[in-house]
Amino acid sequence: MIGDDPRAYAHEEDGRPVPATPFDYGRIDEAVFDYKPESDLTQFSQEDVDRALKVFRELLRWVFQNGMKNPDGVKIRAILVCWIFLEELRGLTLTELAAGYGMKKQSFGRWLDEWKLEFKIRTPHMRPLPDDAARTN
């Protein structure tokens, strides 16, 4: 191989290696989608990462469930997890969130109720379940 970085080379049609410049996806994300990574994750210890991965795995299990049989459910649950955890989406009502994906609120309501029962994680933009007060007393 020529050079240390395999991304610095590509192959011509005849198979010979030629210098190449990797595509800068980060610049596109930033310019088109206004996406910038929030922070440098190297500040976290391995113990922090292990704890976060445990939580993340549980969230992904909830999102996926039996996803190969019902991909629409995976989509709805993934959208809800984004709505719950991303502050920039919290200003949306559940109706607005669903409408943004061409769906009805009822499609999301069932899964949001399931979320509340399973995880007990609430953010200020979520309404409590009707019997939440009875459950906490």
Write 69-73 long-range contacts (CB < 8 A, 24+). Answer: 72/107, 73/111
Q: What is the pLDDT of residues 67-97, one digit of tens each?
A: 788 888 999 999 999 999 888 898 899 999 9
pLDDT score for 97 = 94
Residues with pLDDT less than 50, the chain:
1-2, 135-137
CA 27 to chain CA centroid, nearest Å: 20
Q: What is the C-alpha R_g of the chain?
A: 21
Strands 9-11 and 17-19: antiparallel
* pTM of the complete model beyond 0.75: no
pLDDT at 136: 47
Res 83: pLDDT: 93
